[in-house]
Amino acid sequence: MTYNAWTGERTAQNRSQRSTTTSDPNVRATATGTPAAIPREHLIRRVWPPMMIGVGFVLEVAWIVCLVYALVRFLLNFF
């Protein structure tokens, strides 16, 4: 039995009537069955944002160290 919330009707449907098909290639069927059939998120998609934040932080620190080193060498030449 299925319940239609809009009309308030209860209807009996078998399994073949419940599955819908579409000709749209962008609509995928839901994964059922074994866990291997379930699409997994790629590791790089999960790791990429924090990794880029870390790389940016390291580059920024290296740039600041470079600037401070150049400033100290510049000032030591005059004193």
What separation in angstroms does the CA of 49 have from each of 53, 58, 65? 6, 14, 25
- Kindly report the pTM of this predicted structure: 0.46
Please indicate, yes or no, if residue 69 is contained in any of the structural domains. Answer: yes
Please indicate, yes or no, if residue 50 is contained in any of the structural domains. Answer: yes
Domain that holds residue 75: 42-79
Please indicate, yes or no, if residue 55 is contained in any of the structural domains. Answer: yes
Judge whether 44 and 52 are in contact, CB under 8 Å: no
Please indicate, yes or no, if residue 18 is contained in any of the structural domains. Answer: no
Please indicate, yes or no, if residue 28 is contained in any of the structural domains. Answer: no
Please indicate, yes or no, if residue 77 is contained in any of the structural domains. Answer: yes
pLDDT of residue 65: 98
Instruction: Spell out the per-residue pLDDT of the chain, length 79, in tens.
Output: 666 666 767 666 655 555 555 566 666 656 566 666 667 778 888 889 999 999 999 999 999 999 999 999 999 998 7
- Euclidean distance between CA atoms 63 and 59, whole angstroms: 6
